[in-house]
Chains A and B, each alone.
Chain A
Amino acid sequence: MFNELFPNVKMDDVWVATYETFYMTLIALLGTFILGILLGLLLYLTSRGGLWQNKALNFIVASIVNVFRAIPFIILILLLFPFTDFIVGTIRGPNAALPALIIGSAPFYGRLVEIALREVDKGVVEAAKAMGAKTNTIILKVLLPESMPALVSGITVTGIALIGYTAIAGVIGAGGLGDFAYFYGFQRRSFDVVFVCTVLIVIIVFIFQFIGDSISNKLDKR
């Protein structure tokens, strides 16, 4: 039945591609999470009235974030070829996609982090200050825990965008379901392969959204 409907689909290869998509997404997500939180914290802390209020630094960080968010992802990959080659040692395969994936999505997540931090009750930060808390303590014990549900839903949205990016990265040979659909499906006119890959990507997106939502809900005690 399956072989009749999808004559060109070799499931062994599909699973490898699925694994690669997961691999790229998860590693890139981890990198994005760390880098994005750092960027978001910098944006928040250096803004007006922030704990490290600093107009110049805020302007620089905001500019970098905006520039990287403005570059279309496919072009960002090409621009980063020399950098990727230097860091990873190759410009092909799942690992080669990681720098572009992280640099492409961290600024986006950084903005989401900034928004999440702004939602933290100013009064709670003031209370922590009144208790004699250091800035580090305020960041680690007030700002991040109090914004955690928003940080998690932010990383969920970013993760889903990242799955899309991995598919684009496939075009330059990064591997994964996008790569597979393009080279084995589209270019060989095997549209059953494209269909199967699409369904798998949609399923992955659903899984991400579901996991993200349940973690966010569980964390939220408001």
Chain B
Amino acid sequence: MITIKDLSKVFSTKSKTISAVDNLSLEINKGEIFGVIGYSGAGKSTFIRLINRLEDPTDGQVVIDDENITLLNKKKLRVARQDIGMIFQHFNLLWSRTVEENISFPLEIAGVPKQERQERVHELIRLVGLAGREKAYPSELSGGQKQRVGIARALANNPKVLLCDEATSALDPETTDSILELLVNINEKLGLTIILITHEMHVIRKICHRVAVMDAGKVVEQGDVLDVFLHPQKQITKKFVEQIMGDKDQEDALDLLKEKYDSGKIVRLHFIGELTNQALISQVAKQYEIDINILQGKITQTQKGAYGSLFIHIDGDEEEIKRAIDYITSTSVEVEVIPYV
């Protein structure tokens, strides 16, 4: 649905030229939430601005629904932009306008008649959960509420795409979650394609279907979120995954565990995009004559199910333990028996 081909942006100053976005190509499908992650300076902010040409690309093209954005003249670009919503890290609301006037602004730009504007504004206010705050000024709202206004404003003209520029980076974790939920909600309800850029892996984990990792203006890795989580190829990607999963330090703690137990078995369970076996532990405990002790682990939820690993200690009759492990192996959960030294 969105095709980005060989997109480049070079900033030149007197002393040097900087390639902010370097020959970048991507395909983004209709209705998906596509995340771009990278550290600051990786060029992701420039990248998202190239999509609606807030920055003009030096080279390459952006095609949205067969419309080549990069070739449009100023007038046609303005019309095309009404189909591309955008939300910002610092919300960028007009302080001089109330909530409803802010949401009404893009409708005024699109020349929607007053009556229709009012109806649409009320619809949007309900959609983003701001009923009762219509007459408030942005200065009277919390960060999360401001971003809700930003989202309502971006959706006003029923866009095909929503661009999110670090939309949750200025919010606290709890508010971030509620805004992310709203985005997923909108994505599902309206079938809206969302492109978001962030430096926070948990944003990607929580709502994205696919992800691209950006470094020095290039996409160094991309794919399904789960694949990238499971098999990060590049060092930078591994670092982002560690943000969520913790790092290899866990393994050291394993030696301590081994010393503590002399009977039974320590088993590591890998949950990979698990949707069906969420109650695995209790199932196993009920079916087999064994004791299960959860030792440590970390499991996190992505759009494609649970992902993570769990260390458990199984104690009981040796045969029974074996049967239990065989059972777990027969599910989609991967099992690894940690040998005692």
| Interface residues, chain A, with chain B CB atoms under 8 Å away | 121, 123-124, 126-134, 137, 141-142, 145-146, 148, 219, 221-222
B interface, how many residues as a size bin? 20 to 34
Bound-state Cα–Cα, A77 to B108, Å: 46
Across the interface, A133 reaches (CB within 8 A) one of B78, B93, B138, namely B78
Q: Does B108 contact A132, Cβ atoms closer than 8 Å?
A: no
Chain A residues with Cβ under 8 A from B52's Cβ?
130
Chain B window 120-149, contacts with chain A (Cβ cutoff 8 Å), 1 for yes, 0 for no:
000000000000000001110000000000
Chain A residues with Cβ under 8 A from B110's Cβ?
132
- 7 intermolecular pairs with C-beta atoms under 8 Å apart: A127-B86, A127-B153, A129-B81, A130-B84, A131-B106, A137-B109, A142-B94
Interface of B is mostly: mixed
Known contacts A127-B88, A130-B52, A132-B79, A222 near B108 by CB under 8 Å: no
Q: Does A130 contact B81, Cβ atoms closer than 8 Å?
A: yes
Chain B window 48-69, contacts with chain A (Cβ cutoff 8 Å), 1 for yes, 0 for no:
0000101000000000000000
Across the interface, A130 reaches (CB within 8 A) one of B86, B90, B96, B139, namely B86
Known contacts A132-B110, A137-B109, A222-B139, A127 near B79 by CB under 8 Å: no
Bound-state Cα–Cα, A16 to B232, Å: 85
Interface of A is mostly: helix
Chain B residues with Cβ under 8 A from A222's Cβ?
95, 139
Bound-state Cα–Cα, A222 to B138, Å: 8
Q: Tell me the residues in window 63-114 of chain B with beta carbons closer than 8 Å to chain A beta carbons.
A: 77-82, 84, 86, 88, 90, 92-97, 105-106, 108-110
Bound-state Cα–Cα, A133 to B290, Å: 68
Besides A130-B54, A130-B163, A221-B96, 9 more A-B contacts (Cβ < 8 Å) are: A127-B88, A129-B54, A131-B82, A132-B82, A133-B78, A145-B94, A146-B95, A221-B95, A221-B138
Chain B residues with Cβ under 8 A from A132's Cβ?
77-82, 106, 109-110
Q: Does A221 contact B139, Cβ atoms closer than 8 Å?
A: yes
**B298 to nearest A CB, angstroms?**
37
Chain B residues with Cβ under 8 A from A145's Cβ?
94, 96-97
Closest partner residue, chain A, to B79 (CB atom): A132
Bound-state Cα–Cα, A219 to B82, Å: 30
Closest partner residue, chain A, to B90 (CB atom): A123
Chain B residues with Cβ under 8 A from A134's Cβ?
78, 109
Chain A residues with Cβ under 8 A from B92's Cβ?
121, 123-124, 126-127
Across the interface, B96 reaches (CB within 8 A) one of A123, A126, A146, namely A146
Chain A residues with Cβ under 8 A from B153's Cβ?
127, 131
Chain A residues with Cβ under 8 A from B84's Cβ?
130
Known contacts A131-B105, A132-B109, A137-B109, A124 near B78 by CB under 8 Å: no
Known contacts A127-B88, A132-B78, A148 near B109 by CB under 8 Å: no
Bound-state Cα–Cα, A126 to B163, Å: 13
Chain B residues with Cβ under 8 A from A126's Cβ?
54, 88, 92
Q: Tell me the residues in window 24-59 of chain B with beta carbons closer than 8 Å to chain A beta carbons.
A: 52, 54
Q: Does A124 contact B79, Cβ atoms closer than 8 Å?
A: no
Q: Does A221 contact B137, Cβ atoms closer than 8 Å?
A: yes
